[in-house]
Structure 1
Amino acid sequence: MADHDSPQEVAETFLKKLEDSPFIMIGLNDGNHSEPMNVKLDDEQPNTLFIFSAHDNRIAKGGEAMAQFVGKGHDFFACLAGRVSEETSAATIDKLWDNSVEAWFPNGKAEARLNRFDITSAELWETDVAISGRLKMLFGGTIHGSESSSHAVVDSLA
């Protein structure tokens, strides 16, 4: 990790990147493949990602899970471990329901299930390669750690 980026700063960058591109690959630790899902954030519930799905979706049964995130510009990466369970709070469902969700569930909220992914740990990488590193990538050369990226292992995104 670069000296100027604390784990908390890298975690805050992750949340900003996730708002720009709210898609993750997520799968239960059950041997099935991960799949792309759109996530919702609730500022009042840190360390939790919310995912609307069909009731019979792969993650709907819940359990231990892993999720991966790649930033829109391929300049940020995250691997998240946690647990998927059903969110039953009508207030949370109402708060997170919007036109983009309704487009997938035109018959309304009864057709959808809100899953919560409670993050227990995360590894985050910010790959903002310095100018000197970019030149080395173009013309060959060794990129040193101080030129390459920030990396953080965090237990909390809050």
Structure 2
Amino acid sequence: MTQGSTETFWEMIAEFDTCMVTTRDGTKLRARPMAPRISRERGQILFVTDIRSHKVGEVEGDDQVACTFTKHGSYVAVSGTASVTQDRARIDEIWDAEIEAWMPQGKDGEGVGVFVIDPSQAEIWDVKANKVTQAWEFAKAYLGDKPQPDVSEHVKVQL
């Protein structure tokens, strides 16, 4: 949509330290928590991963993925495509002490790779209302004055 919405998207997801990444495993969907690293310059969401993991095989079969970010009052759903790289420069770019805890073999370990998501669209819900306003909106909806409470801003973003 608008450039402002795109900027809001990148600013919001940079605030999350975990998201649920969903892949397709045959006919089933699988989600797992992962720690995102954001590359605004490339327009990508990055995760260090073990290339021998199930999710790598799953995106080789179907590269469509979804990421769900949630934190009190802020929600972002992302759709896109995934790929995996073992490019050392990309690993160096996002490696930090937290990743080291998950990958004790170090950044030069043979199974270390980067799970790359190229987002194509996102939906953002951002709750702006305080608790009193939220209660009032829920009461109006309950009493039939409104079809549903109005407590958040909702935007669809094409990336």
TM normalised by structure 1 equals 0.78
Gaps of 5+ in 2: none
For residues 128-151 of structure 1, the C-alpha deviation after alignment (integer angstroms, 9 at most, x for no partner) is 12576234158x333868952211
Of residues 97-106 and 87-96 in structure 1, the stretch that sits farther from structure 2 once superposed is: 87-96
Name the structure 2 match of 1:102.
100
Name the structure 2 match of 1:122.
122
Matched, 1:58 2:54: yes
Of residues 121-130 and 33-42 in structure 1, the stretch that sits farther from structure 2 once superposed is: 121-130
Q: Spell out the pairing of 1:8-23 with structure 2 (5 A cutoff).
A: 8-23=3-18
Amino acid at match of 1:81: S
Q: CA deviation at 1:108?
A: 1.1
Matched, 1:141 2:137: no
Q: CA deviation at 1:21?
A: 2.3
Name the structure 1 match of 2:89.
91
Asked whether the 8 Å contact 2:87–2:113 carries over to 1, the reply is: no
Aligned residues: 147
Name the structure 1 match of 2:35.
38
Cα RMSD (Å): 2.6
Larger radius of gyration: 2
Distance 2:115 2:80 in 1: 12
Distance 2:93 2:117 in 1: 17
Q: CA deviation at 1:50?
A: 0.3
Amino acid at match of 2:78: L
TM normalised by structure 2 equals 0.78
Gaps of 5+ in 1: 1-5
More strand as a share of residues: 2
Higher relative contact order (CA 8 A, sep 6+): 1
Distance 1:78 1:97 in 2: 24
